[in-house]
Structure 1
Amino acid sequence: MTLQNQMEFTTADAVVLELVRAGVETAFGIVSIHNMPIYDAILREGSIHLVCSRGESGAVNMADGYARATGKLGVVITSTGTGAGNAAGSLIEAWAAGVPLLHLTGEVASPYLGTGRGYIHECKDQLSMMEGSCKKAMRLRKPEQTAAIVRQAIQGAFAAPSGPVTLEIPIDFQSAIIPNHSIEEIRILAPTNHSIPYLPEEAITKISNAKRPVLWAGGGVITSGASTEVQELAEMIGAAVITSQSGKGSIPEDHSQCIGHFAANDLTKNLLKESDLLISIGVRFRGNETSNWKVAVPTEHIAIDADWQAINRNYAATYGLVGDAKQIVRLLIQNLSQSSVVPDPKYLDEVQSVRNDLRTRLRETLGPYEQILDGMRKVLPRNTILVRDVTVQANVWGSRLFEIYEPRTSIHASGGGIGQGLPTAIGAQMGCKDKPVVLMAGDGGFMVNVGEMATAAQENLPVIVVLFDDAGYGVLRNIQDAAYGRQVAVDLLSPDFVLLGRSMGFDATRIGSPAEFVSELEKAVNNQKPTMIVVDMEALGPMAKPFGGPPGASDSFKPKKL
């Protein structure tokens, strides 16, 4: 018997039918006395695969990674109070990255909301806690409105700027019998008299006349599926292409015009300083990617973004074009095709020279890790999804020198929190079982969600963990050395990661040389099993130049007068 035809139709059934209607195939979470009716409805409906995480924090990261890798809605189901609180930190990461995610959480029975009477799992003000962690937090206040509220929450997660939406449902409402009535959304499109919608003529003219244009591609390019258009525009006008961390994959990173994720580097700063036009597309201009907005941009700046509030938030825009990036860039291309835009070959040579010099200079700092980098790129297929936790190797070269060729194959913690890499990689692998998924992590961060290794093994996911073990918080060690000349609270006792990995169902090994690493990585790709390669950083040796943190990081901690 289907949910639609069963005799007693409940709030939980309405929730599940809206998920199915939205195309949801996978949901992550932990079952609880405050979400059991929803879990049972998922079981009875039968089409949604439930992934049972080991913690609510990891469950949200899994839904996050799934959404980033697939472009689909991420769905996570948690318990009330402490369970919802455990989810909050990971929801902040999803908010920072603009990930479309639906967080379903229970609530105490409706008569006890806000009473402080000690109902089990009660939270003082769960809705406010969720509101502070999400794009929006909602509460079901009448069971008969379930379908409408769930649909609204899903649409809200995707609406610009996309982000996580929490919907809390009191436990007594979840089993309430309600009518199964149809809700249809009617949209009437306004007629148009233009075959090509209007774009400011002055903006088209500025692009046509630019001799040294720069495109800055952000996560909005990935979200809108505008990568093909961005590459075409860049080639048409002869622009250098900078990418944000979230925008990696907007253009293949082996393209001669791709500067990549190097915005705060001096060579890129000089290129921007001498540019006569910046076109930013879906870029947030984060502080850590612009040396806290000290990177200077050209006066002539055309900003394209789906979010009205993004315009002029961090950098002034001569023209703000608000809407879907794919459509707007396509319109730019159509308009520019009617003019004679000829890229300057000398400028293109300069762009390629800057691109090459950036990579050469950074490679000189890596020491033995240069061979690790080259081994990874040689062994791994072009469509490999690289997930990076916050660790030295990811920050220095994983996010810059490991080339990304396709959209949605680069995932990193936008909010900067450690330890979210493993569950994020698990979610990405759940969504893309046809692609290799590789996680770069450090030992300190990895231990935060280490229990999720069991989830990967239970789901038989061939995720590959490359674990850089230096028995501590390597990034903070270097920042403390630069700021104070001493270290505190950064040394950690590492477990035997090989034994730990094997006990969790992973093939695990420890390596101490680049040659060993490449050999083990080749095995991992071929074996199609959960695998962990522990890189012994003491045996491998130090980098040629220590990483001192993001540009200007140590300056924030030195004693100074305010």
Structure 2
Amino acid sequence: MKTLVQTEYTTADALVNELVRAGVEQVFGIVSIHNMPIYDAILREGSIHLVTARGESGAVNMADGYARATGKLGVVLTSTGTGAGNAAGSLVESWSAGVPVLHITGEVASPYLGTGRGYIHECKDQLSMMEGVCKRAYQLRKPEQMVPVIRNAIHEALKAPAGPVTVQIPIDYQSAIIPKSNLQEIESSVNTAPSETKIHFNKEVIDRITAAKRPVIWTGGGVISAEASNELKTLAETIGAAVITSQSGKGSIPEDHPLCIGHFASYKEVKELVKSSDLLISIGVRFRSNETTNWQVEVPKEHIAIDADLEAVNRNFDVTYGLVGDAKYILGQLLEALSEGNVSPDPHYMEEVESVRNQIRTHLRETLGPYEGFLDGMRRLLPKDAILVRDVTVQANVWGSRLFEIYEPRTSIHASGGGIGQGLPTAIGAQIGQKDKVVVLMAGDGGFMVNVGEMATASQEELPLIIILFDDAGYGVLRNIQDAAYGRRVAVDLLSPDFVKLAESMGFTAEKAGSSEEFVSELKAAVSRRKPSMIVVDMEKVGPMAKPFGGPPGAAEAFRPKKL
């Protein structure tokens, strides 16, 4: 592309130069009268690819998926007021999952901020709205401060614990002519790099790990963010520990490893294993309510927590020893300290761990009925490094997030905050970030319709995305919960469009499958095709699961009338 020249240097130019300096290659968003100068500056600079979403909500999810699949900063550019509000729900997901997303949004012209005079796209207090859904939110107060503000926002988004950061820029500031600022950050020579500093662990920490005979490691997304998967695997093997993963922690250890329990913390057999353990080591995990049966899991008294977030210590479970910092470095130093002692894993306990691992998988498989063939076909046909993105739907919750084995970090993506409909744009972002990988989305018809327009984005970007759509003409999870809680249903039945025709109109190759055999055949073709593809699973024709999925443990009971 020919580079376009502009004589004057503006606030928008300063912003784009900082994005380029930070290595940004993709920006997702929607152009507006309140961000047009920034779009023009991106065009003139010429090195950043702009992805035009069909809605601000989807644009944020795309930046989020891009960041999760690559480990890089995701950047999204939205409009003011309603546009920023549309982005807010998806920013909650990025905050919940700890994803580094930079959200740049416009604001009304500076003389009208907070006046309530009805300036177009005006919001009563946009900054407070953004602060409520982000790690941090900044307002540019002076055009000349663009460089330090945006650079600080990028640092904040990437700094552990990572999260979304909003910078809002009044429209009149974006085209303001400003002097170029050459801002150089100088690191003090007296500060020693972490990799050169040896941690002197409390002797009790090492002694406790060495003495443990039934240790459990519980890992979360923090392990993946810190790129500490190799250290985690080595620690588990060194001390003979069972490894439980959170939803976000899937892929932190290969799920075919005999010590990997996986994402089954709320299951009875795993609860018993944790209860009978003599040491818990948690690493970068939030212990979410739905993954701990509302924190009813009984953890051992001895609990070593490793986390980049100081505020995470003692937030959900009591911690005996807290190690705050980068997980990769702490685990590396911990392994070095353990190598100097006498660590002897209990082979009988390791056999018990493997037995529990196999037992829960066998029991869950027995509930799948005809969908067991779907699971096995997917794992057989998809490459080991394929990225599986899952929207909130029955099949994803039951087996996509548990029985489908994940072998590498950043190849499993799911909505940590539990919001439906974010899977499609998240998968688009992941595919843009990893164009050479196979990216597959599992979604249900109800959630899929929330952002269905983003199929056009996938086609426009010529992405080889594969969508597996489970169509049961409604909200399947809620149907099952209502059946169990009330014996009746309300607001859960939906009119499904002809998804095959819809997909074809959006530039996808689409087919319907009414059996596992048909599904496997279509999936094989889609993997080979490397073009936008959709497989619509006719769940009525396939038939029900052997055991209906009733949502998280205790869900039905929680909704029955009761005295508080």
TM-score (normalised: structure 1):
0.98
1:199 alignment partner, one of 180, 184, 201: 201
Q: What is aligned with 2:80? A: 80
Report the alpha carbon displacement of residue 556 of structure 1 after superposing the two structures with TM: 1.9
Q: Is the 8 A contact 1:99 1:164 kept in 2?
A: yes
1:306 alignment partner, one of 305, 308, 313: 308
CA offset digits 1:438-492 (Å, max 9, x no partner): 0000000000000000000000000100000000000000011111111100000
Tell me, yes or no, if structure 1 residue 511 matches structure 2 residue 540.
Answer: no
Gaps of 5+ in 2: none
Distance in structure 1 (CA, Å) of the matches to 2:161 and 2:245: 19
Gaps of 5+ in 1: none
CA offset digits 1:339-358 (Å, max 9, x no partner): 12111111111000000001
Tell me, yes or no, if structure 1 residue 265 matches structure 2 residue 267.
Answer: yes
Q: What is the one-letter code of the residue matched to 2:366?
A: E
Q: What is aligned with 1:101? A: 101
TM superposition outliers: structure 1 runs of 4+ over 4 Å: 1-6, 191-195
Distance in structure 2 (CA, Å) of the matches to 1:301 and 1:240: 14
Report the alpha carbon displacement of residue 18 of structure 1 after superposing the two structures with TM: 0.4
Q: What is aligned with 2:42? A: 42
Distance in structure 2 (CA, Å) of the matches to 1:2 and 1:461: 25
Q: What is the one-letter code of the residue matched to 2:191?
A: A
Distance in structure 1 (CA, Å) of the matches to 2:359 and 2:516: 24
Q: What is the one-letter code of the residue matched to 1:258?
A: C
After TM superposition, the structure 1 = structure 2 runs for residues 371-382 of structure 1, keeping only pairs within 5 Å, are: 371-382=373-384
Q: What is aligned with 1:468? A: 470
Distance in structure 2 (CA, Å) of the matches to 1:428 and 1:556: 35
Q: What is aligned with 1:64? A: 64
Q: What is aligned with 1:31? A: 31
Give the stretch that moved more between structures: 451-460 or 334-343.
334-343
Q: What is the one-letter code of the residue matched to 1:131?
A: E
Distance in structure 2 (CA, Å) of the matches to 1:426 and 1:550: 28
Tell me, yes or no, if structure 1 residue 172 matches structure 2 residue 178.
Answer: no
CA offset digits 1:70-115 (Å, max 9, x no partner): 0000000000011111101000011100100000000000000011
Secondary structure of the equivalent of 2:413?
strand
CA offset digits 1:140-172 (Å, max 9, x no partner): 000000010000101111122211001000000
After TM superposition, the structure 1 = structure 2 runs for residues 157-236 of structure 1, keeping only pairs within 5 Å, are: 157-188=157-188, 189-191=190-192, 196-236=198-238
Secondary structure of the equivalent of 2:495?
coil
Q: Is the 8 A contact 1:443 1:471 kept in 2?
A: yes
CA offset digits 1:115-145 (Å, max 9, x no partner): 1111111111111111111111110000000
Distance in structure 2 (CA, Å) of the matches to 1:296 and 1:289: 13
Q: What is the one-letter code of the residue matched to 2:235?
A: L
Task: State percent identity of aligned pairs.
Answer: 74
Distance in structure 1 (CA, Å) of the matches to 2:292 and 2:192: 42
Q: What is aligned with 1:534? A: 536
Distance in structure 1 (CA, Å) of the matches to 2:355 and 2:244: 14
Q: What is aligned with 1:449? A: 451
Report the alpha carbon displacement of residue 554 of structure 1 after superposing the two structures with TM: 1.5
Q: What is the one-letter code of the residue matched to 2:62?
A: M
Distance in structure 2 (CA, Å) of the matches to 1:341 and 1:68: 35
After TM superposition, the structure 1 = structure 2 runs for residues 99-138 of structure 1, keeping only pairs within 5 Å, are: 99-138=99-138
Q: Is the 8 A contact 1:3 1:9 kept in 2?
A: no
Report the alpha carbon displacement of residue 2 of structure 1 after superposing the two structures with TM: 11
Distance in structure 2 (CA, Å) of the matches to 1:556 and 1:163: 31
Report the alpha carbon displacement of residue 374 of structure 1 after superposing the two structures with TM: 0.3
Q: What is aligned with 2:488? A: 486
Distance in structure 2 (CA, Å) of the matches to 1:196 and 1:60: 39
Q: What is aligned with 2:278? A: 276
Distance in structure 2 (CA, Å) of the matches to 1:129 and 1:340: 54
Distance in structure 2 (CA, Å) of the matches to 1:239 and 1:62: 36
After TM superposition, the structure 1 = structure 2 runs for residues 358-437 of structure 1, keeping only pairs within 5 Å, are: 358-437=360-439
2:256 alignment partner, one of 251, 254, 257: 254
Secondary structure of the equivalent of 1:487?
coil
**Paired residue total:** 562
Q: Is the 8 A contact 1:2 1:45 kept in 2?
A: no
Distance in structure 2 (CA, Å) of the matches to 1:491 and 1:4: 53
Distance in structure 2 (CA, Å) of the matches to 1:67 and 1:482: 39
Distance in structure 1 (CA, Å) of the matches to 2:365 and 2:110: 59
Secondary structure of the equivalent of 2:7?
coil
Distance in structure 1 (CA, Å) of the matches to 2:553 and 2:193: 48
Q: Is the 8 A contact 1:4 1:180 kept in 2?
A: no
Q: What is aligned with 1:341? A: 343
Report the alpha carbon displacement of residue 196 of structure 1 after superposing the two structures with TM: 2.5
Q: What is the one-letter code of the residue matched to 2:506?
A: M
Residues 505 and 191 (structure 1), Cα distance of their counterparts in 2 relative to 1, 3 Å cut: closer
Q: Is the 8 A contact 1:3 1:13 kept in 2?
A: no
Report the alpha carbon displacement of residue 4 of structure 1 after superposing the two structures with TM: 12
CA offset digits 1:316-351 (Å, max 9, x no partner): 011000000000000110000011211111111100
CA offset digits 1:489-531 (Å, max 9, x no partner): 0000000000000000000010101011001001000000000
Q: What is aligned with 1:143? A: 143
Distance in structure 2 (CA, Å) of the matches to 1:195 and 1:304: 17
Distance in structure 2 (CA, Å) of the matches to 1:154 and 1:290: 33
Secondary structure of the equivalent of 1:554?
helix
Secondary structure of the equivalent of 2:217?
strand
Q: What is the one-letter code of the residue matched to 1:435?
A: K
Distance in structure 2 (CA, Å) of the matches to 1:504 and 1:352: 46
CA offset digits 1:154-202 (Å, max 9, x no partner): 1111122211001000000000000112001112243599863211111
Secondary structure of the equivalent of 2:369?
coil
Report the alpha carbon displacement of residue 6 of structure 1 after superposing the two structures with TM: 5.5
Q: What is the one-letter code of the residue matched to 1:86?
A: N
Q: What is aligned with 1:153? A: 153
Q: Is the 8 A contact 2:223 2:327 kept in 1?
A: yes
Distance in structure 2 (CA, Å) of the matches to 1:192 and 1:220: 21
Residues 328 and 5 (structure 1), Cα distance of their counterparts in 2 relative to 1, 3 Å cut: farther
Secondary structure of the equivalent of 2:454?
helix
Secondary structure of the equivalent of 1:132?
helix
Q: What is the one-letter code of the residue matched to 2:283?
A: I
Q: Is the 8 A contact 2:5 2:44 kept in 1?
A: no
Q: Is the 8 A contact 2:144 2:178 kept in 1?
A: yes
Residues 174 and 195 (structure 1), Cα distance of their counterparts in 2 relative to 1, 3 Å cut: closer
